[in-house]
Amino acid sequence: MARPAEKLADALDALHQLQNAGRVAIRSSDLSRTDRPRLIDAGFLREIMRGWYISTRPDEEAGESTAWFASFWGFMSQYLDERLGSEWVVGPDQSLSLLTGNRTVPPQLLVRSPGGRNKPTDLIHGTSLIDTRLDLPGEADRTVTEDGVRVYRLEPALIAVTGQFFTNYPTDARTALATQRDASALLERLLNGGHTVVAGRLAGAFRNIGRDRVADEIVAAMRAASYDVRESDPFAAQLPTPLPRDPSPSANRIRLMWMEMRGRVLQAFPEPPRTNDLEAYLEKVDENYAADAYNSLSIEGYRVSPELIERVRDGNWHPELHEEDRRQRDAMAARGYWEAFQAVKESVRRVLENENAGAVADRYHQEWYRALFAPCVNVGLMKASDLAGYRNTGVFIRGSRHVPMSHDAARDAIAAFFELLSEEPEPAVRVVLGHFIFVFIHPYVDGNGRMGRFLMNVMMASGGYPWTIVPVERRKEYMAALESASVTGDIGPFADFLADLLKAQA
């Protein structure tokens, strides 16, 4: 008779085969009546709705949402394909968000389908699905995202959304508008449909982002066809600076976030104190090392003690001699933090010597990253290729509705980010948006939080602000502030949080 461990191994093998086949949404019928309860009891399977499951990790705590938010879009595409075939599409608002790189999990996903039920389906972690019985846009007006989600194409979505979309989701709307090289694709639909109100709204929207020529083309073409067009700006505020002609939605998203958030940051942050005593500043940085390492590593879930940190700093950590040191994950993290801290301190020195802070971070942040993880590579806990740099795969943030952009989009975004950081005149903005937008992009597979806090402190030096530690005791508040900025675009709580840390430290 097979032992319980062997039975669980057989069940895991069945689940593994489903995963290899690309299954995210797992039906009851995909697994046998014996395998399914074993996987649920062992924590490898979680019910999302009656008869449907996703894969989970057994070490997830009760109430942990990461597996669901990470699986959300893949689950939805497979579940809806199973139920409705290809006869469904998410609404134009959500289509625009997805097409412009905003993959944040919505509280309720609205889907159109001729076979819709016109009622909501409750899911887990405060999410739901409502499939409305509505006709679909034409086949030429639909496409499919990389997650398999069926969406409107961008131009018909811009025409289908109401004016409220521009007010409620200005970053998504402006990012979508910036993808249009000219008015041709939109005008074909506007003229054929006689959409005079929409034409006026889109003309005003294009003028808002500095695309006057596109706005003029829309108005002129509609009037040439004898349509009465009255231009109106649907946005609640004017864009302070026109967007550059960059075809990358992810790069434009970062530029828009920077423009929209910087004013709120300046309201929250104290004036930069500046400093002329370079050596005294660096001495204070050194004094903060132990507390910074303990708190930063603890925020990321490493179990490090002050004793371990001192062993690393004093050189009493010998993985080449002691097996315990070689195998200890937390010790590897502590050693990497020490090495990275030294590299970051050298970047701080450059900034204090009046080098451009954004350019310094751009030039040297990859060195910080390699120092952070080289100890793990050297003892075989990570592959050498993990030091290559930016990620080549998707990533997820534990417990967050914010799903970072694809790895290709992240490369465009990080380039725009460092341009903005280098051009920004205000140290306070460099501090707050330097940290937040870096972790929003999440350019690395691991270490983004630690890198973001290192980046924050290099930017602190650019204004003479002191090295600032995010205490592990305030982790929940810290993560909630980052979540608010990522999901709703409200940078206020995060700016206030960092400003409060500065005041407390002073």
Active-site residue set: 442
Check if the beta carbon of residue 243 is closer than 8 Å to that of residue 256: yes
**Terminal-residue alpha carbon distance, the chain:** 68
Give me the residue label for tokens 């400003």: 499
CB 410 within 8 A of CB 442: yes
| Residue 452 annotated in ligand binding | yes
Distances from the Cα of 208 to the Cα of 28, 99, 107, angstroms? 51, 21, 29
Q: Is 447 marked as a binding-site residue? A: yes
448 labeled binding residue:
yes
Torsion 319-324-327-333 (CA) sign: negative
SS3 content of the chain, % helix, strand, coil (to 5): 60, 5, 35
Amino acid (1-letter code) at residue 84: L
Which uninterrupted H or E stretch holds 96?
A: helix 92-99
Query: Which positions ≥6 away from 6 have C-beta within 8 Å?
Result: none
Closest Cα partner for 435 from 419, 452, 447, 450?
A: 452
What pairs with residue 310 in β-bridges?
none
Q: Which of 206, 241, 238, 239 is nearest to 221 (CA)?
A: 206
255 is in an annotated binding site: no
Q: Does the annotation list 335 as a binding residue? A: no
Report the interhelical angle of 357-378 vs 427-441 (nearest 10°): 40
Backbone φ/ψ region at 442: left (φ over 0), alpha (ψ -120 to 50), beta: left
Entry field: residues in the chain? 506
Q: Is 336 annotated as a binding residue?
A: no
Q: Tally Cβ neighbours within 10 Å of residue 67.
A: 19
446 annotated ligand-binding residue: yes
Is the CB of residue 65 less than 8 Å from the CB of residue 125? Answer: yes
How are beta strands 150-152 and 26-27 bridged, if at all?
unpaired
H or E segment to which residue 108 belongs: strand 108-113
Q: Which residues are known binding-site members for ATP?
A: 446-453
Give the annotated binding-site residues.
446-453
